[in-house]
Amino acid sequence: MDIFAIIGLFFGITFILIGQAMEGGNLGQLLQITAAFIVFGGTGGAVILSFPPQILKLALSFLKYVFFPPKVDMPALIAEIVEFATKARKEGVIVLEKEAKRASDPILTMGLEAVADGADPTLVQSMMENQITQFEGRVAIASKVFEAGGGYSPTLGIIGAVMGLIQVMQNLSDPSALGAGIAVAFVATIYGLFAANLLLLPMSSRIKVNFAQVVTAKELMVEGVLSIQAGESPALIERKLNSFMLVE
């Protein structure tokens, strides 16, 4: 679990509530079921209208990675590729046809099998990079769904506020109720801004950030496979792949 994602969400909600209390307000003032229906229901409807079902399902499958980011063990991956390079150097690239089946990633498996089949290096690189491009596209479209929701929710909040004010204006004969009515109307605006800036947009960003290293690992695989195909020494390959690791 990504504890910093939890901390960020906790801090955001906590300090908003503390600020509300410091202004003399209370939690009950922020709980308005009608505003929630307008903002969250309206935002959900807009998102459903914007994307086909398969994209929505993809986005939901990526939601878990906001708090549980994919694990990438770069040293272990480099060691794995160096091991393949050592075997290929000793026994020839044909051995990779059998060894590829135990590779840790499908892209790596595909690349090693292509090398074992004697494919042209340009073709091997193209095949692997196409797979990476498709993977990046999946990540981008999943994050785009949450980004779109973050764009819609403030507008739905304004719609909710305007709808509330319409009801207030229809009851001008009771001045004592105006203040409370206006306060309720603007709760919808709060919900819209809250959903966008503390939930949906941060989730979109988090998904992209959490998968950045995964993409780097896949690019490392391409470099490793091409280096094996070029007949480079395992020691040289290891030094080359180490350059993909972030300097801490």
Instruction: Encode pLDDT of 88-98 as tens digits.
Output: 888 888 888 88
Q: What is the value of pTM for the model shown?
A: 0.81
What is the rounded CA–CA span in Å between residue 210 and residue 5? 11
Neighbours of 34 (CB within 10 A): 15
pLDDT at site 176: 64
End-to-end CA distance of the chain: 21
pLDDT at site 170: 73
What is the rounded CA–CA span in Å between residue 196 and residue 146? 9
pLDDT at site 248: 41
What is the rounded CA–CA span in Å between residue 147 and residue 135? 18
Give which of 228, 162, 208 is closest to 65, Cα–Cα.
Answer: 208
In order along its 248 residues, the chain shows pLDDT tens digits of 778 788 888 877 888 778 777 777 767 767 888 888 889 999 999 999 999 999 999 999 999 998 888 988 899 999 999 999 999 888 888 888 888 888 888 999 999 999 988 889 999 999 999 999 999 999 999 999 999 999 999 999 998 888 878 777 776 676 666 666 676 778 888 899 999 999 999 999 999 999 998 999 999 999 999 999 988 898 999 998 988 876 44
**Exposure pattern of 114-123 as b/e (b: 16+ CB <10 Å)?**
bbbeebeeee
Q: Give CA separation, 26 vs 20, 29, 171, 199, in Å.
A: 7, 6, 25, 22
Distance of CA 3 to the CA centre of its chain: 16
pLDDT at site 205: 93
Pair 107, 132: CB distance under 8 Å = yes
Angle (deg, nearest 10), helices 74-91 and 201-229: 20
What is the rounded CA–CA span in Å between residue 219 and residue 111? 12
Question: What is the secondary structure of 158-173 as a DSSP string?
Answer: HHHHHHHHHHHHTTTT
H helix runs in the chain, sequence order: 3-22, 33-36, 42-50, 53-62, 74-91, 96-99, 106-116, 121-169, 178-194, 201-229, 234-242
Torsion of CA 105, 111, 117, 118, to 10 degrees: -160
